A and B are shown apart, each in its own frame.
Chain A
Amino acid sequence: MSTIVCITCPRGCTINVEQVNGEWQVTGNSCKKGKEFAINEMTAPKRTICSTVKTTFADAPVLPCRVSADIPKDKIFDVMKEINKVVVSKPLDRGDVIIKDVLGLGVDVIATSNLLTQI
């Protein structure tokens, strides 16, 4: 049996998860999302990553960004490398795509602020 802490919400439930006859048994979770998280954590753990990309704008040298959906945990540093290659030169708005389908993961890197449209 494995004990994990759910990171889905600030409640941070301690969840016990174990495989019995090919079925995942999850206890200690307070909601459906916790069960889903626990099973994912045992089979294919995923995370959201948030970072910044460089820009050519002097008043806003970096633009905050994140992945549009969770990515496999073991791809975090590969995606970071892609994010750090980008230099934004257009005044992108919040939600605009910075990198389409990053590393073929089916997930985009998107801007999380409209700060470039305000300068």
Chain B
Amino acid sequence: MIKTCDVLVIGGGPAGLAAAISAHKEGARVVLVEREARLGGILKQCIHDGFGLVRFNEKLSGPEYAERFIDEFRELGIESKLLTFVTSLERIPEGFKATLVSRDGVEVYETKTVILATGCRERTSKQVFIHGTRPAGIFTAGTAQHFTNLLGQLPTKRCVILGSGDIGLIMARRLTLEGAEVVGVYEVKPTPSGLTRNIHQCLNDYNIPLHLSHTVTRVFGQDRLTAVEIAEVDDHMKPISGTEEIIDCDALILSVGLIPENEIAETLDVQIDPRTKGPICDAHLMTTVPGIFSCGNALHVNDLVDYVSESGETAGKYAAHFAIGTDRVPVEIHPNENILYIVPQRIDLSEDNHETVVYFRSKEVFEKATFRIVADGKTLFEKRYTFLKPPEMEKVVVDFASFNIRANTAIRAEVEVEGQ
């Protein structure tokens, strides 16, 4: 039997939960699909605090933050399907046909819209070129976090962390608290990738050294990792001969970046932005395929979960509206060379654009910079920053309706740096 709904949400993490709740509140019939046994996504294992400062003005741990949404989701009686995979998504005249597989077998849903809230994946050792054998003991930071915080198993006694992403920094502290020795965090770039506060509260507080412009060049060990070779790198991130150092350790933990997960999106020919590695979206977070929406870390990698929830709410609301139906008029926003990326990449003139939430990251660390949105030469929005740092996502609210934007209007997003 084919079941129907208005909005099918794929993913039960913070983005999917917020999207499902918001679509439900707009009157849509919502079904949420989650592959794991419990809702909450990656927040289940993020037991550290600092979540929800923007949204709730409270310092919550990951599970506490997630459970606020899960409680509301359950109170509203929204349907969820756990331990369920989406095996295919196809376009049909009425919208989309989703094939789901669970312990109940195969089920088919016909839905008017789909929200992709599939999160992101960690870059693995296969995606970072390291010489040597392939012993056990090389984990991503998220895997080490899963072992420690969900399974209660310490995966290392003495480790090296490669990459200064936030999860790596958080795990440096976590493993130290549990009695493991973290020899150091090594970052190939000359600047750290994680938030400044995490450098301080996770590394400096525990006297864990951070070595910038350093990388792991080789790993040693047959069954289990026994040592790694570290080297300093030059301006082009190439190891400098003669700077090698061997460090004994039983684990190498990688915190070398996150990539939005869009496998399902690609099967539907959703256009992907090479900058964000997520779908190109309008301000209502609809992708280039009408009826398909994206939010959270599947859209772009966020620095704070508060923004993940916010984008989920936007996608949920407009997916519900779309189920009723409007004609869209997309206009592109073109970022300049100082911007790493901007989300949304386009706005839809058929919707209300008075208070459009815009996220961006700068390409490099800039001092004294101005962010501007310019439409046909007229400045719609301007904000000055003392500092812009790529690890720290910026959020602004832009009134695109203050200018008579037409389908052929050239909209530019600029970061202008003083003295550049």
Q: Contact residues of A with B, CB < 8 Å?
A: 4-7, 9-10, 12, 14, 47-52, 54, 61-62, 64-66, 73, 76-77, 80, 84, 94, 112-115, 118
User: Which of chain B's residues have a CB closer than 8 A to the CB of A113?
Assistant: 44, 63-64, 67
Q: Can you list 21 residue pairs at the A/B interface with Cβ under 8 Å?
A: A5-B199, A7-B201, A10-B50, A10-B304, A47-B201, A48-B59, A50-B49, A50-B61, A51-B47, A62-B149, A62-B151, A64-B62, A66-B47, A73-B205, A80-B177, A84-B178, A112-B63, A113-B63, A113-B67, A115-B38, A115-B44
User: Which of chain A's residues have a CB closer than 8 A to the CB of B178?
Assistant: 51, 80, 84
Question: Do the beta carbons of A94 and B67 come within 8 Å of each other?
Answer: yes
Question: Do the beta carbons of A52 and B392 come within 8 Å of each other?
Answer: no
Say yes or no: is B150 at the interface (Cβ < 8 Å to chain A).
yes
Closest to A51 in B: B177
A45 to B38, CA, bound (A): 37
Selected contact of B63 from candidates A61, A64, A73, A84, CB within 8 Å: A64
Q: Which residues of B21-67 are within 8 A (CB) of A?
A: 38, 44, 47-50, 53-54, 59-64, 67
Q: In the complex, how many angstroms separate the beta carbon of B45 from the nearest chain A beta carbon?
A: 9
A84 to B177, CA, bound (A): 10
Say yes or no: is B383 at the interface (Cβ < 8 Å to chain A).
no
Question: Do the beta carbons of B63 and A49 come within 8 Å of each other?
Answer: no
Contact A10 B195, CB 8 Å, known A66-B49, A112-B47: yes
Most buried by B among A52, A76, A84: A52
User: Which of chain B's residues have a CB closer than 8 A to the CB of A48?
Assistant: 49, 59
Contact A5 B197, CB 8 Å, known A51-B47, A62-B151, A66-B61: yes
Say yes or no: is B274 at the interface (Cβ < 8 Å to chain A).
no
User: Which of chain B's residues have a CB closer than 8 A to the CB of A94?
Assistant: 63-64, 67
Say yes or no: is B238 at the interface (Cβ < 8 Å to chain A).
no
Q: Which residues of B196-232 are within 8 A (CB) of A?
A: 196-197, 199-201, 205
Chain B interface, number of residues (Cβ within 8 angstroms)? 32
Q: In the complex, how many angstroms separate the beta carbon of B390 from the nearest chain A beta carbon?
A: 14
User: Which of chain B's residues have a CB closer than 8 A to the CB of A47?
Assistant: 201, 205
Question: Do the beta carbons of A112 and B64 come within 8 Å of each other?
Answer: yes
A112 to B47, CA, bound (A): 8
Closest to A49 in B: B177
User: B324-366 CB contact bits vs A (8 Å, 1 = yes)?
Assistant: 0000000000000000000000000000000000000000000
Question: Do the beta carbons of B149 and A10 come within 8 Å of each other?
Answer: no
Closest to A62 in B: B152
User: Which of chain B's residues have a CB closer than 8 A to the CB of A10?
Assistant: 50, 53-54, 195, 197, 303-304, 392
Question: Do the beta carbons of B67 and A52 come within 8 Å of each other?
Answer: no
Closest to A80 in B: B177
User: Which of chain A's residues have a CB closer than 8 A to the CB of B392?
Assistant: 10, 12
Q: Which residues of B139-156 are within 8 A (CB) of A?
A: 148-152
Known: A12-B200, A112-B64. 13 other contacts (CB 8 A): A5-B196, A5-B199, A10-B303, A10-B304, A12-B195, A12-B196, A12-B392, A50-B49, A51-B177, A52-B149, A62-B149, A113-B63, A118-B38
A84 to B152, CA, bound (A): 11
Q: In the complex, how many angstroms separate the beta carbon of B40 from the nearest chain A beta carbon?
A: 9
A5 to B196, CA, bound (A): 8
A84 to B154, CA, bound (A): 13
User: Which of chain A's residues have a CB closer than 8 A to the CB of B205?
Assistant: 47, 73
Q: In the complex, how many angstroms separate the beta carbon of A10 from the nearest chain B beta carbon?
A: 6
Closest to A4 in B: B200
Closest to B70 in A: A114
Closest to A112 in B: B61
User: Which of chain B's residues have a CB closer than 8 A to the CB of A61?
Assistant: 151-152
A64 to B66, CA, bound (A): 13
User: Which of chain A's residues have a CB closer than 8 A to the CB of B149?
Assistant: 52, 62, 64
User: Which of chain A's residues have a CB closer than 8 A to the CB of B197?
Assistant: 5-7, 9-10, 12
A90 to B47, CA, bound (A): 20
User: Which of chain A's residues have a CB closer than 8 A to the CB of B48?
Assistant: 50
A45 to B369, CA, bound (A): 34
Q: In the complex, how many angstroms separate the beta carbon of A15 from the nearest chain B beta carbon?
A: 11
Closest to A55 in B: B152
User: Which of chain A's residues have a CB closer than 8 A to the CB of B61?
Assistant: 50, 64, 66, 112
